Structure 1
Amino acid sequence: MLQWELSPFSVTPAASVLIKRFYSSNLFQEDIDSALSDRSPAFSSHLSRAEQRITAHRELDQVRLHLELLQLERGSADVLRSRFQKLQMFCCHLQDVLRDHAPLRQRLLRPHGRTHLPVPATCIGKFVVEVMQMFLDFIETLEQKISSERSRPSAPERLAQMVSITQTLRILTVNKTVCV
């Protein structure tokens, strides 16, 4: 037999023995499928233990990932809480200043007797008014950013997305290895 005449799908002697045994035992595909679909023990105890280890590792990886996400969420919540408290204090201070905005402006515009300021009071008042406008703009943009931050997906939604993506990646890698 020449080398170019060999088929890559040539039947080996072991395969021919199995085929003869298959036809002689009258096994059908349904019987094989039902035997494989049962959750009966694997071919050997080593395989069943290996399967148990693999499932345990998979569950452990999922638990570790969930724990890591919870720790990350807790850490970010601690940072955000302190920043939010500081921001609330700053906003309360700005609200107090804005309540007193009109009297403050009038007081700064009023000339003081026998005081010599390096900058005229009218200029200071004008700058204070501009700074207050800047603060108001800052508060508006801050409220917009806070509302957009609240509308972002939460950690469980992100976890569900990550799980679905990893499952699709596993399916793709399995399909790729099967095709190769």
Structure 2
Amino acid sequence: MAAPSPWDSASEPNAARLLLGHLVGSGVVTQEMLNISKKTASCFVNFSRLQQTTNIQAEIYQKSLEIELLELEKETADIVHPSYLAEKCHTLQSMNSHLEAVLKKKRSLRQRLLKPMCQENLPMEAIYHRYMVHLLQLAVTFIEKLETHLETIRNIPHLDENIKKMSKALAKMDILVNETEELAENILKWREQQKKVSSQIPKML
């Protein structure tokens, strides 16, 4: 609740109002001076506006922080979602269980790794034997053609250059074919001329 103004004549008498009345009565101050002092000074108005501006800026800053927090929460929603965390926790637990099992069998695993694998048979049920025979045939065929396949793979980087060489060779071959055809035609013409000459020799004799 606002305090009563000492200039307001309708308000209840107080010490400040009585003092002002005494000063006016004694002529120390006039009523006009008191009326002027009632008006709010411009500096106080500017201070009030500055305070309001500061409050608005603080509110804007607070809202900006809230918006940033909401955006961050939206971006990380799929990461911190309970279902995602539960799935991740389950995966970690499975990996942990697997590592524990490996550590428990560390000695046996080390012995198996140190033990040579030669002269050992892999157990296989009889119904899969025919498939194994076919698989071995494919493996033998693959091994036989392995060098060819590797050579093909090694030639892949030079494929463009080889194509250019092949194109040049084909162009030269076309030229040679044309020259051969022309030479064959000349030979045929020469033979015909020789036949004509041979047929005219007896007549001349």
Query: Same fold by TM-score, threshold 0.5 exceeded?
Result: no
Calculate the TM-score normalised by the size of structure 1.
Answer: 0.30
Of the two, which has the highest radius of gyration? 2
- Which structure is higher in RCO with an 8 Å CA cutoff and minimum separation 6? 1
